[in-house]
Chain A
Amino acid sequence: AELTVGFSQIGSESGWRAAETSVSKIEAEKRGIDLKIADAQQKQENQIKAIRTFIAQGVDAIFLAPVVATGWDEVLEEAKDAEIPVVLLDRTIDSKDDSLYLTAVTSDTVYEGKVAGEYLAKTVGDRDCKILELQGTVGSSPAINRKKGFDEAIAAHPNLKIVRSQTGDFTRTKGKEVMESFIKAENGGKDICAVYAHNDDMQIGAIQALKEAGLKPGKDIIMVSIDAVPDIFKAMAEGEANATVELTPNMAGPAFDAVMAFKKDGTQPPKWIQTESKVYLPDTAAAEYEARKNLGY
């Protein structure tokens, strides 16, 4: 291959992440790029090691899906010294020096939370609404940002109130367990108006818990979450969920294009290539499910 790209991926902690990896491979193949993926198993230290090793190997470009926003300056400095362009995927980093990377192809996780919140505010209207929130892993940046965005969106609506918020660690099992105790704590679930989950997996767990307690998610309870993985479309198609905000797994495609253009004639891409964060509703759910089910989610 003419171009070798090293991709420091966070891991495969969720279906979405797996999809991002497999979409990246597909996109690389399309363009005849040799993609080396280093899986960091959720650890920043492994990502730094991977970047260092990519530099030592002399790859043509490095993609980095940073597990955390801080702490990249030094290693990116090294990449810069070695004149290897770096592209950030799905999240940006905290850095004074934005010359450390070529561009960032990301969605805005705060914005995602905001979109979810706005959807809820619009759907609920003026009535009082008790919201349960399933947070992501404590301390992880999507959890922090999706909470922040959502809080911003509902701040203007005093009738919307988060009454309980716990972490479900982004997993179905924990989502279900937390929802079970929420139901007990909120009077058998009769007063619950809406559930906001930081990702679809937790939401799917929550839907099961609600159904098992004899409640009707998607009908009596508004279910909104983020990611747009196939299974949530299935739930929407069955009327058990109401909305999901998309986070596209195709971050690598635009990144490859930017790198190829840069390598060819030095074209500087914009510093931030933002992907779309769009709300999907039950009406298109069945079609979306078919479109996505083989993407490796």
Chain B
Amino acid sequence: MTSTLPGRLSFGALPQFATLAAVLLANWLVFPDFFDLRLQDGRLFGSVIDVLNRGAPVAILALGMTLVIATKGVDLSVGAVMAICGAVAATMAAADYSLVAILAAALAVGALCGLWNGFLVAVLDIQPIIATLILMVTGRGIAQLVTEGQIVTFTHEGLIAVAGSSALGLPMPVVIALVLGLALAALVRLTALGLLIESIGVNRTASTYAGVDSRSVLLATYMISGLTAAVAGVIAASDIRGADANNAGLWLELDAILAVVVGGTSLFGGRFSILLSLVGALVIQAMNTGILLSGYPPELNLIVKAVVIAAILVLQSPAAGRLFGFLRRS
């Protein structure tokens, strides 16, 4: 009958960590130096660090996406919102605003985008995929409008440091992703927000009848998604020291959704786990980095990706779970 993937770290996390281990192992097989680490200028270097660093934007997107998906929604606009916020940050950096002003503006724009999505979903009752598709299309245009179609570059030391500096030997984006992840996990689990989100995702009518303020919760959820997209957008802009309105965050919404699903949160809403979504993002980036390290011709990239995803699906499917259970018993 219906089956939901367990969203709790306790016993349900095994498939996710097993998947991550398998992908890392595969990387090690195609590239034996995969686990090599080297310390230089107080900063770690190595392929594993690359996985963490490159995976940070998707991981951050996946944080907000997890909550949205838990409400039985989806946010297709995160890539475009990244582009808008990156464009805002870059243009302001080019005009030499202070870092605080830049960050505040980018986050405000991200929150506004999230509110717009939330408004369409919660108040106008438009289906999430279409509601956010509107901003997915429009948003990229808005980003280009901000940059006037050009790649805006900057030499703003403060903004460059957002992705370019390091802390505790780790690249700053990794630290940001971790801190954000922990903060968000704390926000939803130490308050009742997580429970209310899950409740709406499972049965919005019943939750509303139980007195849950579904509208506000939905608005908050989409706003959080907008905020995480803003952070990811600023990191992406900082990383290349410029805003590429066309390509920033392009198709990243799919990666983020994939990360959430690999992390075990059901697309049908309900139980979610923020930390497992982070693991899911790592799985995806590890796969991408592995492809780059393997030296296979780029024509193979998509096939490899498809096969890996299919393998993950098979491994994590409830059917496989039952089979393993059966084998263990007999």
Range for the number of chain B residues in contact with chain A: 35 or more
Does A14 contact B246, Cβ atoms closer than 8 Å? yes
Of residues 248 through 274 on chain B, the ones whose CB sits less than 8 Å from some CB of chain A are 248, 250
Q: Which of A170, A178, A188, A205 contacts B240 (CB 8 A)?
A: A205
Q: What are the residues of chain B within 8 A of A205 when measuring CB–CB?
A: 240
Asked if B297 is an interface residue, CB under 8 A from chain A, the answer is yes
A14 to B248 Cα, complex, angstroms: 12
Please indicate which of the listed interface residues A135, A172, A296 has the most CB atoms of chain B within 10 Å of its own CB: A172
Asked if A167 is an interface residue, CB under 8 A from chain B, the answer is yes
Does A181 contact B298, Cβ atoms closer than 8 Å? no
A212 to B164 Cα, complex, angstroms: 9
Q: Which of B45, B151, B250, B292 contacts A181 (CB 8 A)?
A: B292
Does B144 contact A171, Cβ atoms closer than 8 Å? no
Q: What are the residues of chain A within 8 A of B244 when measuring CB–CB?
A: 171-173, 201
Q: What are the residues of chain B within 8 A of A213 when measuring CB–CB?
A: 45
Q: How far is the CB of B246 from chain A (nearest CB, A)?
A: 5
A181 to B46 Cα, complex, angstroms: 9
Q: What are the residues of chain B within 8 A of A14 when measuring CB–CB?
A: 246
Does B240 contact A177, Cβ atoms closer than 8 Å? no
Q: What are the residues of chain B within 8 A of A15 when measuring CB–CB?
A: 150-151
Asked if A56 is an interface residue, CB under 8 A from chain B, the answer is no
Q: How far is the CB of A122 from chain B (nearest CB, A)?
A: 28
Q: What are the residues of chain A within 8 A of B239 when measuring CB–CB?
A: 173, 176
Of residues 169 through 223 on chain A, the ones whose CB sits less than 8 Å from some CB of chain B are 169-174, 176-178, 180-182, 184-185, 188, 201, 204-205, 208, 212-214
Does A180 contact B50, Cβ atoms closer than 8 Å? yes
A168 and chain B: residue at smallest CB distance: B298
Q: What are the residues of chain A within 8 A of B246 when measuring CB–CB?
A: 11-14
Does A176 contact B240, Cβ atoms closer than 8 Å? yes
Does A13 contact B150, Cβ atoms closer than 8 Å? no
Does B150 contact A167, Cβ atoms closer than 8 Å? no
A138 and chain B: residue at smallest CB distance: B298
Does A184 contact B293, Cβ atoms closer than 8 Å? yes
Does A166 contact B292, Cβ atoms closer than 8 Å? yes
Does B248 contact A135, Cβ atoms closer than 8 Å? no
Asked if A164 is an interface residue, CB under 8 A from chain B, the answer is yes
Does A166 contact B298, Cβ atoms closer than 8 Å? yes
Q: What are the residues of chain A within 8 A of B41 when measuring CB–CB?
A: 214
Does A296 contact B247, Cβ atoms closer than 8 Å? no
Q: How many residues of A contact B (CB 8 A)?
A: 39
Does A180 contact B240, Cβ atoms closer than 8 Å? no
- What is the 8 Å Cβ interface bit string for chain B, positions 174-193, against chain A (1 contact, 0 not)? 00000000000000000000
Does A12 contact B33, Cβ atoms closer than 8 Å? no
Q: How far is the CB of A24 from chain B (nearest CB, A)?
A: 13
Asked if B98 is an interface residue, CB under 8 A from chain A, the answer is no
A182 to B150 Cα, complex, angstroms: 28
Does A184 contact B50, Cβ atoms closer than 8 Å? yes
Asked if A60 is an interface residue, CB under 8 A from chain B, the answer is no
Does A296 contact B54, Cβ atoms closer than 8 Å? no
Does A21 contact B149, Cβ atoms closer than 8 Å? yes
A165 to B296 Cα, complex, angstroms: 8
Q: What are the residues of chain A within 8 A of B54 when measuring CB–CB?
A: 177, 180
Q: How far is the CB of A176 from chain B (nearest CB, A)?
A: 6
A78 to B293 Cα, complex, angstroms: 48
Q: A: which residues have CB within 8 A of B?
A: 11-15, 18, 21-22, 135, 138, 164-167, 169-174, 176-178, 180-182, 184-185, 188, 201, 204-205, 208, 212-214, 231, 296-297
| Extra A-B contacts (19), CB below 8 Å, given A164-B295, A172-B240 | A12-B144, A14-B246, A15-B151, A18-B150, A166-B298, A169-B247, A170-B247, A172-B242, A173-B236, A173-B240, A173-B244, A176-B240, A184-B36, A185-B293, A185-B295, A188-B38, A214-B41, A231-B153, A296-B148
Among all A-B residue pairs, the 9 with the closest Cβ atoms: A181-B292, A167-B298, A18-B149, A171-B247, A172-B240, A184-B47, A15-B151, A12-B149, A138-B298
A-B contact pairs, 29 of them (CB 8 A): A11-B246, A12-B144, A12-B246, A15-B150, A164-B295, A165-B297, A166-B292, A171-B244, A171-B247, A172-B242, A172-B247, A173-B236, A173-B248, A174-B247, A177-B54, A180-B50, A184-B31, A184-B293, A185-B33, A185-B292, A185-B293, A201-B244, A204-B240, A208-B240, A212-B164, A214-B41, A231-B153, A296-B148, A296-B150
